[in-house]
């Protein structure tokens, strides 16, 4: 697995596959930083607002992660060649999953670093923990979102369809589910607190989030992520590659 992971990282660096996405994330952090600087917000409030607003657009950039980690392998038959060479499906799947997680963490870190840097420049010094806590809280939810991307790429088996589906889920999925639950499945209204794309926007201000709400958001994101990975692996394990 490590050999495949190293070769993927080398391929990404050599071909600058994520360069434009990371450049876009840096600019996005700068944009939301300057947008918040025009108000009377403190550095902490600026960062919280930037992380919340950024969570609405970062999923678009994450589609580049899925294309690099999964789309390339399926489109160019890399997976076929790897399996023919004797690599097990389990090793291949988990290597690509680890790569997806690493790139997701990198993308979120790049955006957060850009936003925090602008906040420091415009608002002055502040305790680093103020900036890091909401980022660390958001991270499990972003990883859960990346698991959804992995699921889509394995189930739909068409890269651009998977990208479109992921963006649609990120933008309007929670709204649709909320309306369905509120209007037709009122007994399951507790699920409204587990919609992780909505939670990404809501949990940045830890001062107004109760421990129960935070715990529910984090635990549910882990559960959803694990379920998505199990389904993805089952599909991948039984898929016929031609």
Residue 93 pLDDT level (bands cut at 50, 70, 90): very high
pLDDT of residue 242: 64
pLDDT digits (tens, 9 = 90+) for 195-224: 989 999 999 988 888 899 999 999 999 999
Residue 78 pLDDT level (bands cut at 50, 70, 90): confident
Summarize the confidence of residues 126-138 as an average pLDDT: 90
* Half-sphere exposure for 200 (CA within 13 Å, toward CB): 23
Q: What is the pTM of this model?
A: 0.94
Distances in Å between the alpha carbon of 123 and those of 34, 116, 153, 163, 185? 10, 10, 42, 37, 46
Distances in Å between the alpha carbon of 192 and those of 4, 25, 56, 60, 198? 39, 29, 18, 23, 9
Distance between CA atoms of residues 172 and 73, nearest Å: 28
Domain-wise residue ranges, the chain: 2-238
pLDDT of residue 205: 87
More reliable by pLDDT, 125 or 109: 109
The average confidence (pLDDT) of the chain is: 91
pLDDT of residue 153: 94
pLDDT of residue 216: 94
Distance between CA atoms of residues 131 and 199, nearest Å: 18
């Amino acid at each position: 697995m490590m050999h495949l992971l190293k070769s993927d990282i080398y391929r990404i660096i050599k071909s600058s596959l994520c360069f434009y996405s990371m450049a876009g994330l840096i600019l996005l952090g700068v944009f939301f930083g300057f947008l918040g600087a025009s108000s009377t917000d403190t550095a902490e409030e600026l960062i919280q607002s930037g992380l919340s607003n950024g969570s609405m657009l970062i999923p678009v950039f994450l589609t580049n992660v899925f294309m690099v980690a999964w789309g390339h392998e399926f489109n160019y038959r890399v997976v076929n060649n790897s399996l023919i060479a004797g690599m097990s499906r389990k090793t291949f799947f988990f290597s690509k999953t680890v790569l997806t997680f690493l790139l997701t963490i990198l993308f979120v870190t790049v955006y957060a670093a850009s936003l925090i840097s602008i906040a420091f420049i415009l608002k002055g010094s502040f305790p680093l923990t103020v900036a890091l806590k909401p980022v660390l809280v958001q991270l499990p939810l972003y990883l859960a979102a990346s698991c959804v991307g992995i699921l889509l790429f394995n189930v739909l088996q068409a890269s651009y369809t998977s990208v479109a589906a992921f963006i649609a889920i990120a933008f309007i999925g929670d709204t649709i589910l909320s309306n369905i639950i509120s209007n037709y499945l009122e007994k399951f209204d507790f699920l409204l607190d587990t919609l992780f794309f909505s939670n990404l926007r809501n949990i940045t201000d830890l001062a107004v989030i109760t421990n129960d709400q935070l715990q529910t958001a984090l635990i549910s994101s882990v559960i959803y992520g694990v379920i998505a990975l199990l389904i993805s692996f089952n599909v991948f394990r039984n898929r016929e590659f031609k």
